[in-house]
Amino acid sequence: MKYFILLLLLLPTVLLSQKIDHLASFRDMGSERYFRFNYDNDFFAASDKNYTQGYSFEYADPSLSKNPVNNIIFKIKGNYFTYGLALEHIGYTPSDFVNSDIQIDDRPFAAAIYVKSFVVTTDTITKSRLSQSLSLGLIGPGAFGKEMQTAIHKLIENKTPGGWDNQIQNDLVLNYEIGYEKQIFNYKNIVTAQAISSLQLGTLFTNASVGFNSTVGLLNDPFSRNSTPSKFKFYAFVQPTVNVVGFDATLQGGIFTNDNPYTISSKNIERLTAQVDYGLILKYRKLYLEYTRTTITKEFTSGNSANWGGFRVGFLFN
């Protein structure tokens, strides 16, 4: 009962992340109209530090093609388009989140909340897709990371966080992200492989990444809309990437505010990181279920690698 209450607490908190990746091809919903809830937590990796939690509400509908934000992103040719909005929240803590003192040489407390407008363009001829998003929000106490984590820990009778007064201060989140995927192998919709690349520019994250993803199981090709979707799909995925980091406000603080109690200096940021995501996805009729795990190498010189997991629940409207 306690954990059911916890779930109810989490859902409205979102309505009040860029770790949350909901635009990868293996997460394609197969429809222009859907709703999906994405949730990450290091609890799934028996941890409580670094990227500690992230969640979002995601909604797609053709009517969102009229969103004015779409007028300022790249227009490219394609024969299938997905237009959507997401509300995301992400939170970070150092290893000792109970201590009220600043944790020197560890990650600062940080939380961010933002609205994301996104468009995914799929070209079924070239077997490629381009995803674009623009996020607007804030990082800092206004994202209520302290209140959220304190309430959750109190509910589950866990240790009370004590260092949020030292968090990254309020600043603007304005971020643009573009990602490209190209299918390079498909064996009878049982095994696929895609080359991927992405770029983020903005006040929250600035970085670039390259890698690939692969799926194996009972699949429907997300790069083909001509086939009739099966009623049951179940498959595993893996996605390793290498990332070049330019800026990370959750470590360095925002670009407009200079009164942060503690940040990681630019010279101590790891400019090259590696990450691997893997998991299982089940699709049945209009239902989407996913369990995922992630590992990333250390993101600053004195830090450590981080692990987290998550789940996603989605519903199709047609």
Mean pLDDT by runs of 10 across the 318 residues of the chain is: 37 43 91 95 80 93 94 83 96 90 94 97 94 97 90 79 93 97 96 97 97 95 71 95 97 95 97 97 96 96 94 93
Predicted pLDDT of residue 227: 53
Please state, in angstroms and as integers, the Cα–Cα distance from residue 275 to each residue in 50, 102, 192, 230, 300, following that order: 14, 28, 20, 32, 14
Predicted pLDDT of residue 293: 95
Query: Which neighbouring-strand residues pair with 113?
Result: 89, 138
Predicted pLDDT of residue 226: 61
Please state, in angstroms and rounded to a whole number, the distance separating the CA atoms of residues 38 and 43: 15
Amino acid symbol at 254 = G
Predicted pLDDT of residue 247: 97
Query: For the structural domain made of 2-316, what CATH number should be given?
Result: 2.40.128.140
Predicted pLDDT of residue 78: 79
Q: Bin 162: left if φ > 0, else alpha if -120 < ψ < 50, else beta.
A: alpha
Closest CA to 239 of 304, 175, 181: 181
- Counts of helices then strands in the chain (DSSP H, E): 3, 12
Predicted pLDDT of residue 16: 34
Predicted pLDDT of residue 17: 36
Predicted pLDDT of residue 230: 62
Please state, in angstroms and as integers, the Cα–Cα distance from residue 149 to each residue in 5, 6, 15, 166, following that order: 15, 11, 16, 15
Please state, in angstroms and rounded to a whole number, the distance separating the CA atoms of residues 215 and 236: 6
166 phi/psi in degrees, rounded to 5 = -100, 15
Burial class (CB in 10 A: 0-12, 13-18, 19+), 4: exposed
**What are the domain boundaries of the chain?**
2-316
Structure token digits, residue 202: 């903005």
